[in-house]
Amino acid sequence: MQLKINWEHKRVKHAIERMWLRGISVKDVEEAVNKGKRVFQRETQLMHSYYKRFSVVYDEKIYPKSNIRKIFPVTVKKLA
């Protein structure tokens, strides 16, 4: 399944600011979404992916007909 991260969505601005403050690149976020431990948040209907020293909270839409997994990052958190 092909992964596409939508960096143009209005909610992504917060995630980009957090990435800049924490020194996390776009490549790091892609790696976290692909390789990190995923947890589904029932209250917010968002995914939380833990990877190395940070975690990514994102909304995920899966389009099975076109075989695309689209990600909308919400925020990036640094783990203690």
Number of H helices, E strands in the chain: 2, 5
Domains of the chain listed by start with CATH number: 2-78 (3.30.2310)
Counting as low any pLDDT under 70, the low residues of the chain are none
The per-residue pLDDT for 11 is 77
Residue positions counted in the chain: 80
| Beta carbons of 71 and 33 less than 8 angstroms apart | yes
DSSP letter for 24, please. Answer: -
The per-residue pLDDT for 10 is 81
The per-residue pLDDT for 24 is 93
Q: How far apart are CA 24 and CA 2, in angstroms?
A: 22
